[in-house]
Amino acid sequence: MRRTKIVATLGPATHNPEILHGLISVGADVLRLNFSHGTPEDHVRLIGMARKAAERVGREVGLLGDIPGPKLRLGDIHGDVMHLRNGQALTLTTNSTGGRRDSIPVAWRGLPDAVQRNDVIYLADGSIRLRVQDTGESEVLTKVETGGSVASHQGMNLPGVEALPSAVGDADLDWVNFACDHGVDLLAVSFVRHASDLDPVHTRLTERSADIPVIAKIEKREAAEAAEEIMEASSGIMVARGDLGIEVPIESVPQIQKRLLALAGRYSKPAITATQMLASMVRSTRPTRAEATDVANAVYDGTDALMLSEETAIGRYPIEAVRMMARIAEEAEKHLPYEDLRHTRTRHAEHDVADTVSYAAVAAAYQLNLAALVVPTRSGRTPRLVSAHRPRVPVLALSERLATVRRVNLLFGVRSAHHQEPPTLDELLAGFRPAPAPAGRPLVAINMVTSVDGRAQLEGTAEGLGSRADRRLMRLYRAAFDAVGSGAGTLRATGVWLRVGDDLAAPRVAEGRPPNPTGVVPSVSRGALAGAAHGCPSPHSSRRSSAASPS
C-alpha cells in the first residue's frame, strides 16, 4: 500500500473525463484546481467531471482549490512572445506599450513605487533577470542581465521587495465563496508572508459557516522565516519551490524544504511538496534520475503529499506521471524508519487527549502487532494525529461527512470511506455495556477485536477514565492488554476501538464484523478493511451499506 499521497493539477491536458478517470485509477488522491487560470464556469465543469470520474473509479478524491493571490504578471506582449538580449534596455510600464519592442506592460500599477535602483526583477519563473536602472511615475527602466524569451501573462518576481499587494484581495475572497458554493474540499493560499495574511480567508470561511482546511503556500522569503507562526495559523503547508527558489538563493531551497517538512511533522499537520518534481515528464515518458531522487528525498524528509503541476496540467503524459510518482514513492516508503518516527517526529502536546490517545494507539499497533487502524471521525482531526505518528500499518478513516472523507485523502497513510456512526459517546458505549456506566465514568471506550480460527470476536470492556470535565487521563495500554488477556488463552489482537471527546478516534480492524446482537457499535465490512490492509480503493460513498453499517 502506498502511503504518500499524490496531488495532480488539472489543466488543458486533463480536461477530459477519460484522462481524469485514468489519473484517479493510477493513484491521484487529490486534484488541484488552479484558480489562476480559467473562469468560475470552467471550474464548475471541471469539478463535475472530477466527481463523476471518482464515482466511476469507486473512491473519493479531494479537490484542492489554489487561490491565486497577488501573483505579479506581465500584460499583453505585442506578438505574444518577446526575445530579450543580454545588455538591452527594457522598460516595464503600467500603461499600454503601443506595440513597442523595447517595452513590456505589467498588470500591477504599484510597481514603480515598489522598486528602486539596483533592485532585481525576475521574469519567466526566474529564467530572465533584469536590473532596475531608474523609475518614473508609470515606468521602470531596466537592463537585461540574463536574456531569453518571455510571453504574455508570465509571472514576475521581486525578491526582497516589501511593498507588495496583500496576499488575499477581493478577487481571492470571491474564490473562497466559490469553494464554499461548489464543494471544494481544501484551499491553498498563495504568496503568504505572515500568519495574518490568512485572516481574511478564515474570516470569510467563518462567515460562510464552512470548515474548509486552509493550506499556506510557502513561496516567499518572509514566509520561510515566519514558518512556525504560519504553521500554527493554518491547517497545513505547501512547500512551493518554484517561486521560493526565486525569492531565496536557490542553493538554500533543499535545506528550507527539510526544515519546513520537519516543522509540519512537529505540529502534526500535513505538508505538500510541489514544483518540478517530474518536470521532464511534461514531454517524456520517463523522469530523470535526479527527479526520481527528488521525489524519494521528499518522502524521506516526511512529506505527506507530492504534487504534480505542469506534468498533469499541460504535459503529454499525465497518467504516466502519476503512475511513475506512485512507484517512486512506494519504493521510498519501504525504507522509512517508522519506529523511530513514532518517537521523534511530533511534539507531544500536554493535556491534549486526542493526541495522547492517537500516539498510544500507534504504539499499540506495534506492540500488539495490529493489522490496521480504523479511525471513525467527524472533523478529520484524529486521523491527522494518527497519521502524524507515521504508523506502519494502514489507517482507514471512516466518516459520516463526505467532506471529511475527501479531505483526509491528503494525509500520509490514510484511506477513507463513508459511513454512519453513533452521534454520541453514550450510544457508542451502549454497544459495549448491557447497562449504563456510572455517572461521570467512561469517556474513553477501548475494546479489542481479536481473531480465533479466522472468526472475529469482540473482547474486553469499556474503560472509564476521568470525568466528563476532565478527559486527560489515558490508560490505553492497560485497557488494551487487559482486553487481549480477557479471553481463553493468548489471542492475537488486530485492533483497538477508542473514542475521545467529539471525535471518534477508533483504531480498529477486523477480519469480518464482530458479533454484537444488542448494541449499536459502528462496524466495517470485510471488503472495506481488506481494501485498507491491501491498498485497494475504499468503497465509494454511494455504496454506504458496503462501507459501514451498525451491528
Model confidence pLDDT, tens digit, residues 13-49 = 999 999 999 999 999 999 999 998 889 999 999 999 9
Alpha-carbon distance of 249 to 360, in angstroms, equals: 42
Cell of 132: 532596475
Mean pLDDT of the chain: 78
Edge to edge, the sheet with strand 447-452 lists: 455-459, 447-452, 492-497
pLDDT of residue 189: 97
Q: Cβ atoms within 10 A of the Cβ of 234, count?
A: 25
Alpha-carbon distance of 432 to 504, in angstroms, equals: 15
Cβ atoms of 188 and 217 within 8 Å: the answer is yes
Q: Please, which pLDDT band fits residue 523 given cuts at 50, 70 and 90? A: very low
pTM of the complete model? 0.77
Model confidence pLDDT, tens digit, residues 483-504 = 333 332 232 333 344 433 333 3
Q: Is 498 exposed, middle or buried (0-12, 13-18, 19+ CB in 10 A)?
A: buried
Alpha-carbon distance of 249 to 245, in angstroms, equals: 6
Domain 81-157, CATH number (from 1.10.1530.10, 3.90.79.10, 2.40.33.10, 1.10.287.3510): 2.40.33.10
Q: Which residues pair with 157 in a beta bridge?
A: 122
Phi, psi of 525, deg, nearest 5: -70, 160
Domain assignments of the chain as residue spans, ordered by start: 5-69+167-334, 81-157, 340-550
Model confidence pLDDT, tens digit, residues 158-180 = 988 877 788 899 999 999 999 99
Model confidence pLDDT, tens digit, residues 248-291 = 999 999 999 999 999 999 999 999 999 999 999 999 999 999 99
Sign of the torsion angle spanned by Cα atoms 225, 275, 254, 321: positive
Q: Coil, strand or helix: which one is 501?
A: coil
Model confidence pLDDT, tens digit, residues 282-321 = 999 999 999 999 999 999 999 999 999 999 999 999 999 9
Angle at alpha carbon of residue 398, lines to 547 and 487, rounded to 5°: 85
Q: Please, which pLDDT band fits residue 421 given cuts at 50, 70 and 90? A: low
Domain 340-550: assigned CATH number: 3.40.1380.20
Q: Coil, strand or helix: which one is 456?
A: strand
Nearest Cα residue to 36 out of 317, 406, 408, 309: 309
Alpha-carbon distance of 163 to 157, in angstroms, equals: 13
* Residue 515 exposure: Cα atoms within 13 Å on the Cβ side: 4
Residue type at position 355: D
- Domain 5-69+167-334 in CATH 3.20.20.60? The answer is yes
Alpha-carbon distance of 242 to 218, in angstroms, equals: 10
- Taking 60 as the threshold, does the pLDDT of residue 448 lie above it? no
Alpha-carbon distance of 32 to 376, in angstroms, equals: 26
Q: Please, which pLDDT band fits residue 541 given cuts at 50, 70 and 90? A: very low
What residues act catalytically? 32, 73, 217, 275
Cβ atoms of 186 and 62 within 8 Å: the answer is yes
Model confidence pLDDT, tens digit, residues 361-396 = 888 777 777 677 777 788 899 899 999 999 988 888
Residue type at position 33: L
Alpha-carbon distance of 491 to 451, in angstroms, equals: 7
Residue type at position 434: P
